[in-house]
Structure 1
């Protein structure tokens, strides 16, 4: 606070507390008068707000202040209020006055006096200071414990800048941490990218009502995260309605529009009764449209209107209905490519693309396999009443395979959940041993080989002759050939050089003081005259 600044107080005339006509008024504590009676505090100007019926009292107050504090300039500010207890009227009047007032924060400091005026006026003062329409702090005055003539009582300043209060800041930080943990179901995930993504989603979820788009492969957790976001907003009293989820891939033809927007009786063959539709069911709540890229163009156009206007026409009806819902959408497609191909409306994509989050696959966040495995075992124990644990050797073997490049986790968390369920079900005496893990690994290899690998052998899907040339490829030992093909297979499925390196050096990287997976992989590829750009193009 600059000592050279002048102090300006803005406050209402207290029609009761400041009242009094005779000499006895000096025997009582009057809040507005008390402000200028503190010897160590100089009030340079007082903007005294009053309603017209109390002009005489305001003029008397101005004269009394001149007697007590000649250095204080009092400006009488008439405020037109038909009902001083009408919140909308009072706030509008104060807001308009503040917008027209010439604040000079460099030369003056402003105190908003909230002891006088109706409770509505005090609340409005608080809101204007909190929103910085009044660029200052709140001023609270109180009478002395024993009233004596001339005793000014006490004054206290309240700064609404929450960053100044360590205790409040810590509570906010803890509240945010709790919300992030809630979105992750308490799983102590370790992947930095995923943790940063969830932290941002938490902030957006509690601050925004705009559509959110979750992108990611099947089983990456889009549906689960959508429900947790709904539960978080519900707990914060931001939503009153239901969570409504639909997989758009299951909607076809007239049934798609009917399911989403409802229909009138007789709208089409088979429409024997009226149907409200999912959008109306989600009124006041959250609508999660999974696989939104599967919607037809007609349904996309109807959805865009419903998002923007909160109104739409049910099938066969000439009357609009209203539904105020928040939209979450999920897709495993690249909607940018779908727009370019004319299969997805660009205006709808623009509307739902304000907040887009790309959920990484399980194979891209192998650090999180262990905590998720423990979480799934805990859920199994809750469901079955039977606790199951790995022995140390079995756990190490399972995680070594699960975090390797060989484990593709095509179904992501669905694959992991199924795997842990099998282990927990077959475990004897509540212990998962090595033999059981070996059998499960064999099952997973069979599952992923059946889906992804050609029957003639996986080594044939990497053409080293095309990459290296016939002379260089023919000069490779079988050992080098097989190793290079395996490395290139990982590179082909990875998003970047760093991602491929992290998968390939998952174990040895933990034993290094300086981790540079990309550099290690780059040097290995350079031995064969290969670079990442060439591999990506191939």
Structure 2
């Protein structure tokens, strides 16, 4: 791994000594490259435009004492070296545009040179992980090392700089807006929660537990947390997401931890699991309450020890991943019932956040409506919008007490997709809104009242007339029941367990979700096709 030093040119300290005498004087930037135990592959020297001549001279001297060190000079414009805002903005701009490669290069941030203001700004940028570096402090020495001086690497104790960091709280607010996808939410409790999640995401690598109803945005928030961490250089690996409700039996162990060849029937080739893929990245386990107790035990060991065993292997595998768990279940109740491990819950419950449903954030419906419109524009490639009356009509409906928003943001997303698709010329009218209100009202009523649901299922909403003409009446009745069960289930596997509640008891291993998926495929349908309507 290459060592890269980043530092400001010392307009006073690096200018000491003239002619041959300069080699008897300690100059911080040159002295770094004279250390016997510190080999510098590249030195990034930042300097004011008024010090270009000095920068060239110092660069030439570094190449003399350390021929293998590449010197790169970057000119900055410090109009006022004592203006905190200006200096911080200038150095932040450099940091955001510099191509850091922490997996290939080790960075040392030299903080000896530059004004006191610049040194404080270096601290703040390093603390906030805009610069993934260790701090390098140099000082003069006596005797044979007089010209080289001494150096020391410094670990930041973040607690020492809380007061200073508060002066730049704007950077944290930027991270909060990132987590909210730029949506100007108006719910105070939600905004306060997101602000804390931003701080935890930046400062901690401990597991996070995100709870809340289906469609509340758990998966979306987990992905944004990963993107924020990746942006700050806190994770280098991939974002790996899995819905645990889709994992059953041997396939669950194999999917998570991998398996060796021949570990079980059908394991013809060795396979790396999702934990391996998430190494140095972030693993999101949605619906973690669906995992079996054996998988929970192995997951706990992997979290605590950063190692685990693939199915059929006696050799431990290593994976340094960060975990976000999601669930719409009450895990404490599952602990009481014996279906969830108490020690695993204690491990993932250090940071726990409950995402409210859309009906509990009605003041946020309008900004999220605008967000969904922007997303629809990006997908469809043209401008889409409401006319004024249609927008008022839809928002009035959205705030009504009988608008239950059972699917939360999934319902809102589906509604916008339908209206924008059917809107002529990209303009949503009152007619489009009337149709969508009727659809959502019917859907919510059917979900709340099983008797209504039995008569509410219209197969023409899922299949076109040509498809229905080829399906026997008996199969149509069966499909209506399948759709009914899918609508009242939280996941594909839950629907499968209900539909195959007798035959599954006679099998050694069950794969209800696969059976249901195959059955729906006969009609060119998926679970998502049904539940998103």
Instruction: Report the TM range for the smaller structure's normalisation.
Output: 0.5 to 0.7
Query: Which residue of the partner structure matches residue 529 of structure 2?
Result: none
Equivalent of 2:140, from 95, 105, 116? Answer: 116
Distance, in Å, in 2 between the alignment partners of 1:413 and 1:300 is 30
Query: Which residue of the partner structure matches residue 325 of structure 1?
Result: 321
Equivalent of 1:359, from 333, 351, 355? Answer: 355
Give the deviation of 1:29 after TM superposition. 9.4
Query: Which residue of the partner structure matches residue 163 of structure 1?
Result: 163
Q: Tell me the SS of whatever aligns to 1:429.
A: helix
Q: Tell me the SS of whatever aligns to 1:238.
A: coil
Equivalent of 1:251, from 247, 250, 255? Answer: 247
Residue 120 and residue 280 in structure 1: after superposition, are their counterparts in 2 closer, same or farther (change >3 A)? farther
Distance, in Å, in 1 between the alignment partners of 2:26 and 2:436 is 82
Distance, in Å, in 1 between the alignment partners of 2:312 and 2:373 is 50
Give the deviation of 1:435 after TM superposition. 1.8
Q: Bigger radius of gyration, 1 or 2?
A: 1
Structure 1 gap ranges (5+): 1-16, 18-27, 32-112, 134-159, 458-538
Q: Tell me the SS of whatever aligns to 1:245.
A: strand
Residue 274 and residue 436 in structure 1: after superposition, are their counterparts in 2 closer, same or farther (change >3 A)? same
Residue 267 and residue 366 in structure 1: after superposition, are their counterparts in 2 closer, same or farther (change >3 A)? same
Q: Deviations over 1:234-284 (max 9, x none)?
A: 111111111111100000001100110111100000000001111111111
Does the alignment pair 1:344 with 2:368?
Answer: no
Q: For residues 73-472 of structure 1, what are the structure 2 equivalents within 5 Å?
A: 115-117=139-141, 121-124=150-153, 127=154, 131=157, 163=163, 169-170=166-167, 172-453=168-449, 455=451
Distance, in Å, in 2 between the alignment partners of 1:454 and 1:162 is 56
Distance, in Å, in 2 between the alignment partners of 1:245 and 1:161 is 35
Give the deviation of 1:182 after TM superposition. 0.7
Distance, in Å, in 2 between the alignment partners of 1:309 and 1:355 is 19
Q: Tell me the SS of whatever aligns to 1:333.
A: coil
Root-mean-square deviation (CA, aligned residues, Å) is: 3.0
Q: Deviations over 1:465-524 (max 9, x none)?
A: xxxxxxxxxxxxxxxxxxxxxxxxxxxxxxxxxxxxxxxxxxxxxxxxxxxxxxxxxxxx
Distance, in Å, in 1 between the alignment partners of 2:292 and 2:332 is 16
Distance, in Å, in 2 between the alignment partners of 1:421 and 1:249 is 26
Distance, in Å, in 1 between the alignment partners of 2:377 and 2:333 is 44
Q: Deviations over 1:26-85 (max 9, x none)?
A: xx9999xxxxxxxxxxxxxxxxxxxxxxxxxxxxxxxxxxxxxxxxxxxxxxxxxxxxxx
Residue 235 and residue 346 in structure 1: after superposition, are their counterparts in 2 closer, same or farther (change >3 A)? same
Give the deviation of 1:405 after TM superposition. 1.2
Distance, in Å, in 2 between the alignment partners of 1:257 and 1:131 is 40
Distance, in Å, in 1 between the alignment partners of 2:398 and 2:448 is 17
Distance, in Å, in 2 between the alignment partners of 1:239 and 1:340 is 35
Q: State whether residues 331 and 345 of structure 2, in contact with CA within 8 Å, keep that contact through their aligned partners in structure 1.
A: yes
Q: Which runs of 4+ in 1 moved over 6 A?
A: 28-31
Distance, in Å, in 1 between the alignment partners of 2:296 and 2:158 is 41
Q: Deviations over 1:336-375 (max 9, x none)?
A: 0000110000000000000000000011001111011111
Structure 2 gap ranges (5+): 1-15, 17-23, 28-136, 454-533
Give the deviation of 1:132 after TM superposition. 10
Distance, in Å, in 2 between the alignment partners of 1:382 and 1:456 is 37
Q: State whether residues 259 and 313 of structure 2, in contact with CA within 8 Å, keep that contact through their aligned partners in structure 1.
A: yes
Distance, in Å, in 1 between the alignment partners of 2:323 and 2:161 is 33
